[in-house]
A and B are shown apart, each in its own frame.
Chain A
Amino acid sequence: MAGLKVRLRDETPQQKADQRLMARVAQGDQLAFSALYDRLSGPLYSLGCKMLDDAAEAEDALQEVCLQIWRRAATYDPKQSSVFSWAVLLARSRIIDRLRARGRRLRVITPTEAEQSPVETAEASTAESTAETIQRNEEAVRVRSVLGSLPAEQRQAIEMAFFSELTHREIAAQLEQPLGTVKAHIRRGLLRLRDELRKSYDR
């Protein structure tokens, strides 16, 4: 049986800065929260739009998640995850609650033409003209590029697992594949994504 050796990446300056902000948010610092909002709201809102397929509901979900971040900041543990990861997974969980509440099953996620095209960067007229935006755009391009390089079956399995509320059993049923195969696709896809992202950061 193949094994795996884990090597954690060093925290980036951005991750450390986020942690400092989060520590201040935990103490009730509204200005720190405002800065954190600027860093996180874009990806969280886009995630909501993607998963809920409804801009108004994505806005409600983002508002709800932001308030949760404010209220639960003290429970954030930097040993468990980066602030970005904590916020994304928190948002995803709330969005899945919403999907389940409205009893709607998502369509099978397949990358659309628009999503495969380069990321639109902030226009001069928007207020989002910050270094975080540039960095995020670069990160988005990198993630899409790496996702695009994964074998199709792995990409499909991890996108379905991430962007929908389906369990792995439901994914297996929808893809008409054995459960073990779907699990393997998700695992291999995630590990490969991790390795490729790490390589691209090291370049």
Chain B
Amino acid sequence: MIAEEQQDRAALYVLGSLDANEIAAFESAMRDDAELRALVRELRETASAIALGAQEYSVPAALKDRVLQEIAAESGADKQHSLGDRKVTPHPISWLPWAIAALFLVSLGALLYNNMQLRRQITEMRAADPLIRTSFVALAPAKGAPSDAKATVAWQPDKQSGVIRISGLPAAGRGKDYQLWAVDAERTDPINAGVVHVNPNGTAQVRFKPTDSAHNIKAFALSLEREGGVPKREGPILLIGNA
């Protein structure tokens, strides 16, 4: 059992609100108390979850490229360091322009090498990790559909099956059903992926398997059709998203 005072300190510790002396004393207490360490871990998880309570903002798209370029350059620079350490330099003036040029070429080479490695790793990961083999497609409301309706499809091409999660869709209505379609670039007509029944709260999570194989899916769409579904789309498309 952990005393309340110690719980107070644990809460303030994970929030970084203790001063240096308090931190030292608390960490010393933690060393001998497995239960206290477990509490701290739990409170860390809880405190970090508070971050999710902040309003969400979209990350600027260009930032990822900048970060990846920077770490690629760092990786390249590390390699250059180990090579550069072995060099002997006779005169600083005469070798400087050549060194700059060489550094540029080495950096370029390192970036190209990293790029090739990344491509190879992508291929390997796609083969090894089921999550990476999964494509995710967000479906947004088409014209005339409820504006808060949305869906996401997780599609596994190798299994030729997927899962769709829907929210914000009203009941299909008497004599109607929602029907999912896989739009394959190699086929003229969308492939029937089955009827989807929406719960009274407007949500659904359904596994689906298109009636025909689809090897080059470019979009998923949800339409409103006659009850029981139709072999070829007739009704209006309510949700659609490009793969």
Q: Which of B181-212 contact A (CB under 8 A)?
A: none
Interfacial chain B residues near A130, Cβ < 8 Å: 136
Of the four ranges (under 10, 10 to 19, 20 to 34, 35 or more), the interface on chain A belongs to 35 or more
The complex places the Cα of A119 from the Cα of B58 at a distance, in Å, of 12
Chain A residue, CB-CB nearest to B45? A85
What's the A-B contact tally at a CB cutoff of 8 Å?
220
On whether the beta carbons of B150 and A3 are closer than 8 Å, the reply is: no
Q: A76: shortest Cβ distance to chain B, in Å?
A: 13
Interfacial chain A residues near B154, Cβ < 8 Å: 131
The answer to the question of B122 belonging to the interface, with a C-beta cut-off of 8 Å to chain A, is yes
Q: Which of B131-146 contact A (CB under 8 A)?
A: 131-132, 134, 136-140
Which of B1, B3, B51, B63 interacts with A88 by CB under 8 Å? Answer: B51
Once A17-B131, A134-B152, A194-B42 are accepted as A-B contacts, the answer to whether A46 and B4 lie under 8 Å apart by CB is no
The count of residues in chain B whose C-beta lies closer than 8 Å to any C-beta of chain A is: 70
User: Looking at chain A's contact residues, is the secondary structure mostly helix, strand, loop, or mixed?
Assistant: helix
Interfacial chain A residues near B54, Cβ < 8 Å: 43, 46-47, 49-50, 115, 163
On whether the beta carbons of A168 and B17 are closer than 8 Å, the reply is: yes
Interface residues of A (CB under 8 A from B): 1-6, 8-9, 17, 28-31, 33-35, 37-38, 41-47, 49-50, 55, 58-59, 62-63, 66-67, 70-71, 79-82, 84-85, 88-89, 91-93, 96, 112, 114-115, 119-131, 133-134, 136-137, 139-140, 143-144, 147, 158-159, 161-163, 167-168, 183-184, 186-187, 190-191, 193-194, 197
Interface residues of B (CB under 8 A from A): 1-5, 7-8, 10-12, 14-17, 19, 35, 38-39, 41-61, 63-64, 66-68, 70-72, 74-75, 114, 117-118, 121-122, 125, 131-132, 134, 136-140, 150, 152, 154, 165, 240-242
